[in-house]
């Protein structure tokens, strides 16, 4: 069993430009996550299950921390990378990872999103939505790694308000990593 946590406190400068002046304002924000993970190496495909709770204040810059695995700081493949800035967000993440061999990992990730301060976005609900990601990582050799995934997001009430509709989002992705 592994327990991990990370916390970041940030002070960022934001410039507010009006016709009369350009004022700098300091933004103080914090974010962090706590995760518990359990791996069974004695079972077929070495299943790993984990739960992660993450929270980022409004104005939090999620680009500062590192990336160690799917769903660490970037909360979701659809929302964390393309829709939300990972600020003003509380996320519950459940994950199952199957490792049939040393070079292949299959990830099933479930994310539940809630806005910390929905009123900051003029929303009447905090419940943003749910995302499911199916991801595969294959280390072909010492130099080449391939990743692919298919992801789906279903908005809740705040998601419908924020996104302007109730349609499910679907996305596919593929990437390659070269190390030399």
Distance CA 134, CA 150 (A): 5
Give the largest Cα separation in the chain, rounded: 67
Q: What integer is the mean pLDDT of 36-42?
A: 95
In this prediction, residue 150 carries a pLDDT of 96
pLDDT 10s digits, 134-158: 999 999 999 999 999 999 999 999 9
Q: What integer is the mean pLDDT of 62-84?
A: 66
132 falls within a domain = yes
Confidence of residue 73 (pLDDT cuts 50, 70, 90): low
Q: What integer is the mean pLDDT of 102-120?
A: 95
In this prediction, residue 84 carries a pLDDT of 79
Residue with tokens 């910390």: 116
Distance CA 121, CA 66 (A): 27
158 falls within a domain = yes
116 falls within a domain = yes
pLDDT averaged over every residue in the chain: 87
Q: How far is CA 11 from each of CA 14, 25, 104, 134, rounded to the nearest angstrom?
A: 10, 10, 40, 35
Edge-first strand listing for the sheet containing 22-39: 2-17, 22-39, 48-56, 89-101, 104-115, 127-139, 144-155, 169-178
137 falls within a domain = yes
Q: Where are the beta strands (DSSP E) in the chain?
A: 2-17, 22-39, 48-56, 89-101, 104-115, 127-139, 144-155, 169-178
Yes or no: say if 134 and 150 are a contact pair by the CB < 8 Å rule.
Answer: yes
* Domains in the chain, number: 1
Q: What integer is the mean pLDDT of 115-133?
A: 95
Q: Is the model's pLDDT at 67 over the cut of 60?
A: no
Confidence of residue 70 (pLDDT cuts 50, 70, 90): low
Can you give the residue range of the structural domain that contains 106? Answer: 31-178
141 falls within a domain = yes
Q: Which of 141, 127, 138, 131 is nearest to 175 (CA)?
A: 138
pLDDT > 70 fraction of the chain, expressed in percent and rounded: 87
> The tokens of 126 are what?
């905090």
19 falls within a domain = no
167 falls within a domain = yes
Q: Is the model's pLDDT at 71 over the cut of 70?
A: no
Q: Is the model's pLDDT at 31 over the cut of 60?
A: yes
Q: Is the model's pLDDT at 80 over the cut of 80?
A: no
Distance CA 135, CA 109 (A): 8
Pairwise pLDDT comparison (111 vs 87), residue with the higher score: 111
| Residue 108, SS3 per DSSP | strand
For the ranges 78-82, 99-103, 123-127, 128-132, which has the lowest average pLDDT?
Answer: 78-82
107 falls within a domain = yes
Q: Within 10 A of 13 (CB to CB), how many other CB atoms are there?
A: 8
Distance CA 20, CA 9 (A): 32
């Amino acid at each position: 069993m592994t327990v991990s946590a990370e916390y970041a406190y940030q002070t960022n400068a934001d410039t507010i430009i009006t016709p009369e002046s350009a004022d700098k304002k300091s933004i103080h924000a914090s974010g962090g996550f706590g995760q518990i993970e359990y791996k069974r190496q004695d079972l077929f495909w070495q299943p790993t299950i984990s739960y992660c709770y993450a929270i980022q204040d409004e104005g939090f810059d999620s680009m500062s921390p590192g990336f160690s695995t799917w769903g660490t700081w970037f909360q979701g493949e659809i929302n964390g990378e393309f829709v939300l800035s990972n600020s003003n967000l509380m996320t519950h993440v459940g994950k199952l990872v199957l490792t049939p061999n040393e070079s292949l990992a299959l990830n099933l990730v479930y994310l539940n999103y809630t806005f910390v301060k929905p009123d900051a976005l003029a929303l009447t609900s905090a419940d943003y939505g749910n995302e499911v990601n199916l991801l595969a990582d294959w280390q072909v050799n010492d130099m080449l790694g391939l990743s692919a995934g298919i992801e789906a997001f279903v908005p809740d009430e705040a998601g419908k308000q924020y996104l302007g509709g109730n349609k499910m989002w679907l996305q596919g992705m593929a990437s390659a990593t070269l190390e030399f």
